[in-house]
Structure 1
Amino acid sequence: MKVPPSLNEATFIVAEYKAQILRVPELPLPFSTVKVLEQRMWVEALLLVLLFLLLKKVWSKPDGLPPGRWGLPYIGSIPFFSKLTLYEHLKDLQKKHGDIYTWRMGTEVIVFIHDYKLTKEILNRPEVSDRPDWIFFTLGDKPPLGIGSTNGELWHNNRRFSLRQLRDLGMGKSKLVAAVHNQATILVEELKKQSGQPAPVPHAVNVAVINIIWQMVASIQFEVTDPKMIEFQDLMTNFNKVTDRAYFHDLFSWLPQILPSALSDRLFKLDHVRNLLSMLSVYFKKVIDEHRATLDMDNPRDLIDNYLIDLEGDEKLPVEMQNEKNLVWIILDLFFAGSQTTADTLRFTFYYLANNPRVQSKLHAELDEVLGGALATLEDKARLPYTDGVINEALRMSSLTPIGIHHLVRTDIQLAGYTIPKGTVINNVTQSIHTDTRYWKDPHQFLPERWLDDKGCFSTKKEGFLPFSVGKRQCVGEGLARMELMIFLAAVMANFTITPPPGKTIDSSPDPVSPTFHITRVQDIVFTMRK
C-alpha cells in the first residue's frame, strides 16, 4: 500500500522536532572552569616529572659511588645465563672498572675492593668495623650475640674476653703444645690405616682440629669414633652448608615478606638454620651445665670456667655479657671460625704437595734434618723456614675467604676519591689480592721459596697477604691456627709421602658448591708411609 505524501511530511516534522530537543547546545565554558582544567593539567604534568625524577633516582646509581653494576630496584644486577663463578664475575668487573667498584645485589649495595693497600686502609677504619644485620651472621637470633655477628660494645667486650682467654690457655704458647702433639699422633695413626690406598683425607683431620678447640673451651678431648664427636662434626658440617643459602635471603630480604613462610623457609633453608642452631645450643648448654656443677672458683680449667666465674663471681663481666646465651654464641663462633677453616687448609696443603713432588722432597729433607722424627714444638719454628713457607703459600693459594667477610659502613666515608654512603657493604676480594702480580710473581704457582730470603731464612711477606684479614676484625685465632698447621703438617709429612692415585690427578681448585668460602673437593689421595 502506498503511503500518502501528507503522512511522510508529518513523520519528517516529528523527527526534526525530536532532533532539536536532543541537540546539546555548544555553549562556551565559564572562565573559572577553564582555569581549573589548566591547573589540573599543570599538576598532572608536574607529577609526571616528579615520578620520572623519582624513578631515575631509584634506578640510577647515586653520585659518588664507584662505577659498577646497578641494575633494577629490589633485584639489582643479576648476571643470568652465565657459567662464571662469583669470583670470575668479580675479576671481570675488575678488568672493566678497576680495583674498586660497586655491585648492587638485590637490595644490598656492595663495594668490592681488589687492592691490598685500599683494603688495609678501609678495614683499619672504625667506621667499617661493623657487620651487616644479616641472617648469614645472626642466624635469625635476635639480638645478635657472640663475636662474629655483634657490633659496638658487646662485640668489643666479647672479642677482648675471647682473645685474652685463648692467649692465657695456650694459643701460640708451649702450654697447649702437649694437646696438639696428642692429636697429631692420633692423626698419624689414622692415616697409617689407609697407607698406600687411594682414599679421601680422613675425617680424623677435622677431629684433631676440633679437639684442640674443645681442649681450650671445655678441657674435652674426644676419640675419633666417639658418637658425640661424630654427632658434633655432623652438626658443624651441616651448619656450614645451610648458611650459604641464608646469604641469598639477606640479598633479597623482601622475598620472605611476600612469600608464604613455609615456602620461604624451604627456599632459604631457614628452618634448617633454626633447627641446627637449636641443636648446637643444646649441645653447648649441656657442657656448660656440667662445668657449672664442677666449678672451682679458684681453679678455672678453661674458657667456660672463666666465663662462669666472671658471670657468677664478682660481676667482672660488662652488663651486656652477663647471660649464658652469650657464652653459647662465643663458643659457636670459635668453632665456626676455627675448625673447618684449619682442617680445609690442611687438606689444601696435602693436595698442593701431592701435585708438587719437588716441594715435597725439600719439605721432607728439612723435617728429617731438623726434627729427626720428633714432633715439632714452637721452639722449632725458627729452624723450619721451608715448612713455614709451605704453610704460608698454602694459605695464599687456598684463600679460604675468597671475597672476604662483609663489613658494614656505619657512616658516610671517603675512599679513593669516592663517597661510600652509610649502609653500604664492603668486601675485600682476598683471592684477587693473593694472586695480584704487583705483589706475587707467578701467582698461580705453588712456590714456598717465595717466603725465603737470600740466606734461606723465613721472611714474612706482609704486602699483598691477608689470610686472616686485617684491622679490628682480624681473626682472633690466627696464633692457634698457625700453631696447629705447623705441628700437624710436620707430623704428617715426617711419616708420609703424598701422591695422586695411579693414573689420576688431584684437583686442588676449590669446590664451587660454596659461593662465599673455599672448601676442598672430596677426592681420593694416597698417603704412603716413608721408610
Structure 2
Amino acid sequence: MRNFKSVRARTRPATPDKVRLRSRLKYDSRVSVIFGPGVIWQSGHDWRLTRRFTIQTLRDFGVGKTSLEEKIFSEIDAATEYIKATGAKPFNPRQLTSMMITNIIYGIVFGKRFDFDEADLHSMIEKLDLLFRRGGVGSAEGGFPEWLLKIVNKKEFDQRHIYQQISDHESSFDGQHVRDFVDLYLKAKTEEKSDSGVNTAGNTYRVIMDLFVAGSETTSNTVNWTLLYLQEYPDLQNKCREEIQQACGGRNVRWTDRGTLPYTEAFLLEVQRVSNIAEFSLPHTNQVPVTLGGYNIPAHSLIRANLYSANMDQKYWSDPHIFNPDRFLKNGKTFGHPAFMPFSTGPRICAGESLAKMEMFMITTNLVQRFTFARGDPSTKHNFEPIFEQITSAPEPYMARATPI
C-alpha cells in the first residue's frame, strides 16, 4: 500500500518564511513540550485564539469533508485486509484500532501514513500507550515545571519524557511533514496583531502534538470498546448490520449516511456513555471567584468535571449500568441527552469532537458491513471492566474473531 502525502506539500516550493518556520519548529519543539501551552493548557484570550486556529485547521484538513473520508477509507480497506489475513483466527482488536486511528491522525497532521507492518508505526503506538498510563499527560501535574514535577511526581516526570521522545521523533522529519500547518500558521500570524496565543512557532508545534497525541488514544480506545460490545451483543450487532444493509446495500457507508442509520448511531452513543473514555475533563481553572451549586469556588482553583458521574447518574439514566442503545432513540430517531457528555462540556469541549465522530461512525459501520465479530473464545465472556492504570478508560485485553460477510 503506497503512502500518501499532501499534494500541496509535494508541489509547492517552500518560501523563505516557510523555511525559517520549519527551522524554528524543529528548534522550538524540545522546549515547547515543556513550556508551550498548545490548546490543552492555554487559558483566556490566548486559548480562544488557539482553539479557533485548531478547529479551523481541522476543517481545512478535511474534517467532515470527502477528502478526509478517503483517508479513513484507506484505513478501513487496510483493516479489511488485515482481518482477512487472520483467517478467522483470534486477533487483538486493540492493536488494529490503534493502527487505524494513529494513521488517520498522522495523515491529517503530517501528511503521510504507514503500512500496518512498519516498525515506526508500532513504536509510536507503544509510546502512546505508555503516555496514557495513569499519571500521564492528563493529570493535574501536567502543567508543572520539570524541576517541581521531578520532586512531587516522578512517574509524571518520566511520562513527560516519553512525550518528549514522541516530539523529538516527529521533529526529525523534514518540513513537508509539518505541511499545511506552516501555511495556516503564517496566515494566523498575518491576521493576528499580537505575538501571544497561536502566534508563536513553539505553540503551533504544541498544537500539532496535542492533536496527534490526544486524537490517537481516545478514539482508538472508543473503537476498541465498540468492537467489544459488538461481539458481546451479537443480536444488536445483527440489528446494526441489517439497518446498514437496508440503507446502503453493498456500497461503502459514507459520513453523509449517518442520518439514515438511527439504531447504529444509538449503538455508538451508548458505547461512548458506558465506556466513559474520559472519566474526568482535563484540569482547568477559573479566573474569578464563582458560586456553583451553593459552593463558593475561589479564583484560580483547579477544576475538573466528573464526566463519569453524568454518564452514569441514575437520576438521568434508567439502569445506567445496562447496555441499552434504545435509550437514545425516540420515534425511530436518535436524540441528544443533556447528561451525555463524552467529549466534556462547556466552552472547553473537545476540539476534535467532529473528527472523532466521523472516525467512529465510518469505521464501525463499514467493518460491521464487511464482517461478523465474535469472541476469540466462544466460552469466555468479557467482564467489561476497564484498565484502571490508564488515564483513559480502556477495556482489559481481549481477543476477537471476524468472519467475512
| TM-score normalised according to structure 2 size | 0.83
Which structure has more RCO (C-alpha within 8 Å, separation ≥ 6)? 2
Contact 2:32–2:206 (8 Å) recurs in 1: no
The residue that corresponds to 1:504 in the other structure is 380
For the residue of structure 1 that corresponds to 2:35, the secondary structure is: coil
CA RMSD of aligned residues (A): 2.9
In structure 2, which of residues 17, 22, 40 is the aligned counterpart of residue 148 of structure 1? 40
Equivalent position amino acid for 2:234 in 1: P
Q: Are positions 1:272 and 2:158 aligned together?
A: yes
Equivalent position amino acid for 2:311 in 1: H
Pairwise CA distance, 1:416: 1.7
Q: Are positions 1:303 and 2:189 aligned together?
A: no
Deviation by residue 1:260-279 (Cα, 9 ceiling, x = unmatched)? x6xx49x6235533432332
Once residues 183 and 209 of structure 2 are traced to their aligned partners in structure 1, the CA distance between those partners, rounded to angstroms, is 16
Question: Are the structure 2 counterparts of residues 411 and 219 from structure 1 closer, same or farther at C-alpha, using a change threshold of 3 Å?
Answer: same
Contact 1:348–1:520 (8 Å) recurs in 2: yes
Q: Summarize the alignment of residues 202-281 of structure 1 with structure 2, pairs less than 5 Å apart.
A: 203-241=95-133, 243-244=135-136, 247=139, 264=151, 268-281=154-167
Question: Are the structure 2 counterparts of residues 184 and 233 from structure 1 closer, same or farther at C-alpha, using a change threshold of 3 Å?
Answer: same
Question: Are the structure 2 counterparts of residues 144 and 291 from structure 1 closer, same or farther at C-alpha, using a change threshold of 3 Å?
Answer: closer
Once residues 149 and 376 of structure 1 are traced to their aligned partners in structure 2, the CA distance between those partners, rounded to angstroms, is 37
Q: Are positions 1:426 and 2:307 aligned together?
A: no
Q: Are positions 1:374 and 2:251 aligned together?
A: yes
For the residue of structure 2 that corresponds to 1:504, the secondary structure is: coil
Pairwise CA distance, 1:142: 5.0
Once residues 134 and 200 of structure 2 are traced to their aligned partners in structure 1, the CA distance between those partners, rounded to angstroms, is 27
Once residues 473 and 451 of structure 1 are traced to their aligned partners in structure 2, the CA distance between those partners, rounded to angstroms, is 24
Once residues 281 and 236 of structure 2 are traced to their aligned partners in structure 1, the CA distance between those partners, rounded to angstroms, is 29
For the residue of structure 1 that corresponds to 2:103, the secondary structure is: helix
Deviation by residue 1:141-195 (Cα, 9 ceiling, x = unmatched)? 5534211111123222111101011112221222311111111111121122224
Contact 2:131–2:137 (8 Å) recurs in 1: no
The residue that corresponds to 2:55 in the other structure is 163
Q: Summarize the alignment of residues 36-115 of structure 1 with structure 2, pairs less than 5 Å apart.
A: none
Contact 1:407–1:427 (8 Å) recurs in 2: yes
In structure 1, which of residues 472, 477, 480 is the aligned counterpart of residue 355 of structure 2? 480
In structure 2, which of residues 204, 220, 243 is the aligned counterpart of residue 327 of structure 1? 204
Question: Are the structure 2 counterparts of residues 142 and 192 from structure 1 closer, same or farther at C-alpha, using a change threshold of 3 Å?
Answer: closer
Pairwise CA distance, 1:317: 7.2
Q: Are positions 1:494 and 2:366 aligned together?
A: no
Deviation by residue 1:235-267 (Cα, 9 ceiling, x = unmatched)? 22222227439948679x9xx87x9x6xx49x6
The runs of 4+ residues in structure 1 deviating greater than 6 Å are none
Pairwise CA distance, 1:231: 2.5
Equivalent position amino acid for 2:162 in 1: L
The residue that corresponds to 1:282 in the other structure is 168
**Percent identity among equivalent residues?**
26
Equivalent position amino acid for 2:131 in 1: F
Pairwise CA distance, 1:474: 0.7
For the residue of structure 2 that corresponds to 1:374, the secondary structure is: coil
The residue that corresponds to 1:526 in the other structure is 401
Pairwise CA distance, 1:493: 0.8
Equivalent position amino acid for 2:91 in 1: A
Equivalent position amino acid for 1:366 in 2: E
Question: Are the structure 2 counterparts of residues 270 and 426 from structure 1 closer, same or farther at C-alpha, using a change threshold of 3 Å?
Answer: closer
The residue that corresponds to 1:446 in the other structure is 323
Contact 1:242–1:273 (8 Å) recurs in 2: no
Structure 1 stretches lacking a partner, 5+ long: 1-138, 293-300
Contact 2:53–2:188 (8 Å) recurs in 1: no
- Aligned pair count reads 373
Question: Are the structure 2 counterparts of residues 421 and 316 from structure 1 closer, same or farther at C-alpha, using a change threshold of 3 Å?
Answer: closer
Question: Are the structure 2 counterparts of residues 402 and 271 from structure 1 closer, same or farther at C-alpha, using a change threshold of 3 Å?
Answer: closer
Pairwise CA distance, 1:407: 2.3
Q: Summarize the alignment of residues 284-433 of structure 1 with structure 2, pairs less than 5 Å apart.
A: 284-287=170-173, 289-290=175-176, 302-308=180-186, 310=188, 314=190, 316=192, 318-320=194-196, 321-433=198-310
Question: Are the structure 2 counterparts of residues 210 and 317 from structure 1 closer, same or farther at C-alpha, using a change threshold of 3 Å?
Answer: farther
Pairwise CA distance, 1:216: 2.0
Deviation by residue 1:103-142 (Cα, 9 ceiling, x = unmatched)? xxxxxxxxxxxxxxxxxxxxxxxxxxxxxxxxxxxx9955
The residue that corresponds to 1:50 in the other structure is none
- Structure with bigger gyration radius: 1
Once residues 291 and 154 of structure 2 are traced to their aligned partners in structure 1, the CA distance between those partners, rounded to angstroms, is 35
Equivalent position amino acid for 1:197 in 2: K
Once residues 384 and 58 of structure 2 are traced to their aligned partners in structure 1, the CA distance between those partners, rounded to angstroms, is 32
Contact 2:136–2:142 (8 Å) recurs in 1: no
